[in-house]
Amino acid sequence: MKKPMGIFDRVLNIMMFLAGIMLIFIMLSVCLEVILRTFFNHSLTWVTEVTEIMLLYITFLGSAWVLREGGHVKVDIILSHLKPKNNAILGIFSSILGVFVCCILTIYGFKVTMECINKGLYTTTTLEIPMFLIIGVIPIGGLMLFVQFIRRTLRFVAGVLIESRKINS
């Protein structure tokens, strides 16, 4: 089981690396756009569209990595006052909820992506990008987040079991 999870972690790292590259690209292209508009009265028509798409990609490529690293928003003021066992039980509940949400997101994201492929849909913008290339990241990111929520749930369950053994000993 360690080898598949090691591969999964490497895939998450690669996805996060790609998200970081996209973020740097967005920063540079927006700066270039501002300079061109300000000093040369020229605009790059593609910058806004590509930035919007990359923001979607960054979100779905990076969310599972952020969850793995514990970087999502938490209400620490409440969690810091709970006993470790209650904290773990809350973690189990929130992780199971995350599993269900990601399951729905992945299934419907996949259905919509396949529908875009079958209908041959394109954006009605300057670049006319196939819609499946834009929406396709949603089921991929949703699936990765689904797996990470399952891992998180199992980690919290192990924490509850360990705490229960300490209390019973």
Residue 149's pLDDT band (boundaries 50, 70, 90)? Answer: very high
What's the pLDDT tens digit per position in 44-86?
Answer: 989 999 999 999 999 999 999 999 998 877 777 877 787 878 8
Going from the C-alpha of 155 to that of each of 15, 92, 148, 158, 163, the distances in angstroms are 23, 9, 10, 5, 12
Instruction: Let me know how long the chain is.
Output: 169
Q: Which residue has the tokens 């269900």?
A: 100
Distances (CA, A) of 117 to 130, 160, 165: 8, 45, 52
Please state the pTM of the whole predicted model.
Answer: 0.86
Q: How far is CA 88 from the centre of its chain?
A: 23
Interval 2-41: pLDDT, tens: 788 889 999 999 999 999 999 999 999 999 999 999 999 9
HSE-CB for 12 with a 13 A CA cutoff: 20
